[in-house]
Structure 1
Amino acid sequence: MSYTDLSRLLCTLATVKRRVTPVLRSLAFHMARQSDRLPPKQLSNVLYAMNSLSFPDPLLLEKIANDFVSQGNAIDKPTVVGGILTCMGQMRWRNTSMLEILSEWVENHVNICRTSDIAAMVLTLASVSYTPTNIDSLFKAIIPKLTSVTINRETAWLDVVWSLSVLGKATEEHIASVLNPSFVSKIPSAAQHQRTGIKLKLLNINAVARLSMPAYKGPFLDLSDFKDVIITQGRHELMLAKHVQTMLHNFLPPPKYIRENIQTNMGIFVDAELSVGKNGKPIPIEDFTTNFGEKESSKQLPEGAQKLAMFIWDYRDYTIGSQELTGINRLAMELVRKHDYKIVQIPYYEYNMKAKTIKNVQYLESKTKEAVSTS
């Protein structure tokens, strides 16, 4: 079968929602080996199929990227750009070469782009936490096109403002438009499965306004209305976090020396909180915690002591096939740092659940000391 025929078969499987893994692997293998190239429109269709089938085959993605980059000048339709950007964001695919070409194309053709295409640009850059080289000129061109009037669906506008907040490009007007009580009151009308995500984004934006925008004079959320928001973890994430926490208990007995599974009013989840004295030895966190800005600590932190926030990163916390964290996770660390915490990161690709206890305890101790000395 030709490259074109193989791609059409993949798209057909996506249309009929047939995720037959052996067939998909075979298709991806043969498509990745083709020497010819698909045009941008067909590449967009293939990417859409891979996204629909949750099948981000790394070799095929590399082939798509190579095909696309070599034809960057051949793009003539904003719908193709918008489609590719949307798939990249939803798949968490951080191909910097493609993002550079797409960013430049959107900037140069902003007047023929639909609002949805421009929004897809912002959402994808935030999702994969990427700053293109033309970020300043790009946003100067596209920000005027993105308003609550041009994007009249509340959830879509919230997504745009949240993405701008992640990228550090949100203005006071953007923030105020979604923290306004009249906007917040429309949340209950959203579909049930959307409500938690919407509330978490509002809490993220509220935290950005409080911690990163000292000149902000607009409204803030009434946090008492958000007490029911719970961030849940997947099975694999829970297994990893539980294993790490069990190892931590060998030198940080809870609850005196460590707090775990913390739901914050910033809409982010912290796996563990601890504190160390100036000599690097653990000290009781229960005396010094503010629960990340929710209350006053019962005691003043001793001179030279530091509070640490630990994030345990599962593979879903990264963009696919890379060691680059997604936008929400980078935002989480940024917000926690604003509360004077040092960050301890435990990535899944470093931590071995099958290793001996002594090895894992030594690794965690070294990561804690490293965070204190380098931050």
Structure 2
Amino acid sequence: GSSVPVPCLSCALSPWQALELAEQFDPDELRRVVLALALQQRRCVPLLRALSYHLLQKPAELPLPVLTDLLFAYSKLSFQQPQVLHRLSLELQPHLGTLSPAQVSRCARSFASLRWLSRPLAEAIAQYSLDNAQKLSITQLCGILVSFARLNFQPSSSEEFFSMVHEQLQGQEQQLDTHLLTDVVWSLCVLQQARPPHLRQVLSPEFQARLRGDTSPRAQSSWLKLLHINATARLEAPGYQGPFLPPEVLGGDGDRDKDKEREKATPLQRGLQEALPGALGGPDLLRHNVSTVYGWDIDAEAVLDSDNKPLPVRDFTAPHLPCSEGTKPLPPGARRVAVLRWEFPQFSSRGRELLGRGSMARRHLRAAGFLLAEVPHYEFLELKLERQRVAYLKDKVAKALASDTAGDMATDTAT
């Protein structure tokens, strides 16, 4: 992924020696040190911070090999330094036309893995893809598409760009391995560009059979994406007739539940669990940590009657669960509310925009009939007292109900 041989400056230095010398390094030496760390998978954060600081002090524009190698290295080390990423995206943009399709695809993937969306650069990559459609290999184009989906980026030339993507993909799907094809169709679902043939291809029993029984992390990730694709087919593709995933594979009774048990609860998750009973009622009125048939987990679910009073959630049918506990239909005027937390990694590293995965979860859960009380980490964790957190959650639910009522009134007025 880079133009520098591994044996380089930093191989002869310890990280601490490099730290002492960093101020004297020119941009090319900085590049060689960071690249060597990446190729050796040595994520020495104090050194990376120091190198980033000294890099930002260099006033002249960075040479193209420095830009591309630094981006590759930061991505390989999962090291996010906003000022450096801003500089790399700003200075890469004018050079984009001189890069090879492989380099452009690699840059797109690196920015996506770092959750960094520079809209001007992403627009330039979309235009590059249109201008060089015949030169891009199918794998390189897929890399760009998957990157846009991860970042939840829709090009301004959306219609033209996706027409080109569909044209290039047509008949080429057999070239893609199982996981890449799953990623591509999932990405089209995130960007609301999936067509029935794509859905049919990955939801067919033959395709599912390729992933069944494979317990590797990559296969588990692909299987979860298949659940999201299946949810898109159910909730966002009205003309789609099937196939769908069979009901027995949609549950939360397998690996997803085991994984959730193994995961350590985050501070946001713990704080929510403590505050929810005070905001929405006790264990009989709430359902916690719900794994839905759509592949999305919600932190809590409540049913509120037409007067916004909580009802015992387990009494009612629940089409979003693999096995419904209750049998009663929702009473007239009752609403389902889902409390949904948004952790730090679900946002772009530039700010407070949800990435593609979160954006699709929000759409699917709304389409499934939920009102969403969304709880981002940067709001909730600022509140230190439980009474503040309870009041915050009550306010979130009230706002979700109010927006639903306003939407109903607008619909009534229109009709």
TM-score, normalising length from structure 2?
0.84
Q: Counterpart in 2 of 1:157? A: 181
Tell me the SS of whatever aligns to 1:346: strand
Tell me the SS of whatever aligns to 1:256: coil
**Aligned pairs (5 A) from 1:120-199:** 120-146=143-169, 147-149=171-173, 151-188=175-212, 190=214, 192-199=216-223
Q: Counterpart in 1 of 2:391? A: 362
1:280 aligns with 2:304: no
Q: Which letter does structure 2 place at the counterpart of 1:169?
A: Q
**Aligned pairs (5 A) from 1:1-375:** 1-72=25-96, 74-146=97-169, 147-149=171-173, 151-188=175-212, 190=214, 192-227=216-251, 228-230=254-256, 232=259, 238-292=266-320, 294=322, 298-352=327-381, 355-375=384-404
Q: Which has the larger displacement, 180-189 or 112-121?
A: 180-189
Tell me the SS of whatever aligns to 2:338: strand
Q: Which letter does structure 1 place at the counterpart of 2:162?
A: F
Which structure has the highest helix share of the two? 2
Contact 1:65 1:98 in 2 (8 A): yes
Q: Following the alignment from structure 1 to structure 2, what is the Cα–Cα distance between the partners of residues 47 and 347?
A: 29
| Percent identical residues | 26
Contact 2:139 2:176 in 1 (8 A): no
Q: Following the alignment from structure 2 to structure 1, what is the Cα–Cα distance between the partners of residues 138 and 215?
A: 23
Q: Following the alignment from structure 1 to structure 2, what is the Cα–Cα distance between the partners of residues 46 and 363?
A: 42
Contact 2:317 2:329 in 1 (8 A): no
Q: Following the alignment from structure 2 to structure 1, what is the Cα–Cα distance between the partners of residues 353 and 242?
A: 33
Contact 1:43 1:64 in 2 (8 A): yes
Tell me the SS of whatever aligns to 1:349: helix
Tell me the SS of whatever aligns to 1:280: coil
Contact 2:190 2:357 in 1 (8 A): yes
Change (3 A) 1:53 1:87: same
Q: Counterpart in 1 of 2:3? A: none
Unaligned runs of 5+ in 1: none
Q: Following the alignment from structure 1 to structure 2, what is the Cα–Cα distance between the partners of residues 49 and 355?
A: 38
1:26-68: CA deviation from partner (whole Å, max 9, x where unpaired): 1111112222223445422211100111111111111112212
Unaligned runs of 5+ in 2: 1-24, 405-415
Tell me the SS of whatever aligns to 2:235: helix
Q: Which letter does structure 2 place at the counterpart of 1:121?
A: I
Change (3 A) 1:263 1:176: same
Q: Following the alignment from structure 2 to structure 1, what is the Cα–Cα distance between the partners of residues 366 and 316?
A: 16
Tell me the SS of whatever aligns to 2:256: coil
Contact 1:241 1:312 in 2 (8 A): yes
Q: Counterpart in 1 of 2:15? A: none
Q: Which letter does structure 2 place at the counterpart of 1:322?
A: G
How many residues end up aligned between the 2 structures?
374
TM-score, normalising length from structure 1?
0.93
Q: Which has the larger displacement, 207-216 or 190-199?
A: 190-199
Shift of 1:263: 0.8
Contact 1:128 1:327 in 2 (8 A): yes
Contact 2:268 2:381 in 1 (8 A): no
Q: Following the alignment from structure 1 to structure 2, what is the Cα–Cα distance between the partners of residues 289 and 314?
A: 30
1:81-119: CA deviation from partner (whole Å, max 9, x where unpaired): 011011122222222121111111111111111212210
Contact 1:165 1:208 in 2 (8 A): yes
Shift of 1:195: 2.5
Q: Following the alignment from structure 1 to structure 2, what is the Cα–Cα distance between the partners of residues 45 and 84?
A: 10
Contact 2:204 2:244 in 1 (8 A): yes
Tell me the SS of whatever aligns to 2:42: coil
Q: Following the alignment from structure 1 to structure 2, what is the Cα–Cα distance between the partners of residues 86 and 372?
A: 39
Contact 1:3 1:36 in 2 (8 A): no
